[in-house]
Chains A and B, each alone.
Chain A
Amino acid sequence: AQTVTQSQPEMSVQEAETVTLSCTYDTSENNYYLFWYKQPPSRQMILVIRQEAYKQQNATENRFSVNFQKAAKSFSLKISDSQLGDTAMYFCAFSKGVNSGNTPLVFGKGTRLSVIA
C-alpha cells in the first residue's frame, strides 16, 4: 500500500515570509498524481495544487508552488508571501494513475501551519 509521510506536525511562519512544507511518499509506480489540500479552521477541504508525476515542470498556483523530486519521492509545498488566511492544516495526498490501476487518494497525517502577524 502506498504511504504518504508528512514529517512536520506543526509549523509557524511570519506574515509575508516564505515557508516550505515537506511530504514524502512511497511507491514503486511510475504513473501517479500528488496533491496538496488545505483545511482552514472552518473544516472545509480545499485543493491547493496538483502535480502529475510524468510532468517534470513543478506546478504553481499563485503564491503556492511545489518542489517535485521524483527520484527522491519528495513533494514539498512552498508558500510565498504568507498571509494570515494561510493558517490551516495542510494535507499531502497521493494516488496511482490510470496505467497503474487508478486508486483513491491516500492522505498524509497533515501539517498544521500557523501564520503569525
Chain B
Amino acid sequence: DAGITQSPRYKITETGRQVTLMCHQTWSHSYMFWYRQDLGHGLRLIYYSAAADITDKGEVPDGYVVSRSKTENFPLTLESATRSQTSVYFCASSELGQVNSPLHFGNGTRLTVT
C-alpha cells in the first residue's frame, strides 16, 4: 500500500540505550520530517530533510540523529535515550515537494524510556 509507515508502533527502552525509529514512504516525496508530540507542547520539529543526504535541525534536535541515504527512508536515532525523550514521534512527508506543503503523517511511534 502506498503511504508512510513508521515502525515500531510502540517501544520501551532503558535510559542510555540507543534506539532507532524507522520511517518509510512510498510516494517519493522529497521532504520528510520528524516531530515529537508531548502533552502541553503540541508537535515540535526535531529534524527535517529536503532530499537524500540533506538534513536540517528543527526546534528540538538535541539528543537525536537522522540520516537520509535513500529518498524513501528517514530513520531517527536516539543515541543515548533519556526519560525526557519519552514521547510520541511522528514522521511526515510533504506532498507538494515544498517544505511548507500539507503533510502526510505516519501513525506515530510511542516511545517510553524507563
A117 at the interface (CB under 8 A from B): no
Q: Is the CB of A104 within 8 A of B99?
A: yes
With A104-B33, A107-B44, A109-B42 already in contact, the answer to whether A43 and B88 are too (CB < 8 A) is: yes
Chain A positions 64 through 77: 1 when the CB is less than 8 Å from some CB of chain B, otherwise 0: 00000000000000
Complex contacts, B33 vs chain A, CB 8 Å: 104
* B-side interface residues, number (CB < 8 Å): 22
Do the beta carbons of A45 and B105 come within 8 Å of each other?
Answer: yes
Partner of A95, one of B43, B44, B92, B100: B100
User: CB within 8 Å of B: which residues of A?
Assistant: 1, 4, 6, 33, 35, 42-45, 47, 50, 91, 95-98, 102-110
B residues near A (Cβ < 8 Å) are: 33, 35, 40-45, 48, 58-59, 88, 90, 92, 98-100, 102-103, 105, 107-108
25 A-B pairs whose Cβ atoms sit less than 8 Å apart in the complex? A35-B102, A42-B107, A43-B107, A43-B108, A44-B105, A44-B107, A45-B90, A47-B103, A91-B43, A95-B99, A96-B100, A102-B98, A102-B99, A103-B100, A104-B33, A104-B45, A104-B48, A104-B99, A105-B100, A105-B103, A107-B35, A107-B43, A107-B44, A109-B41, A110-B42
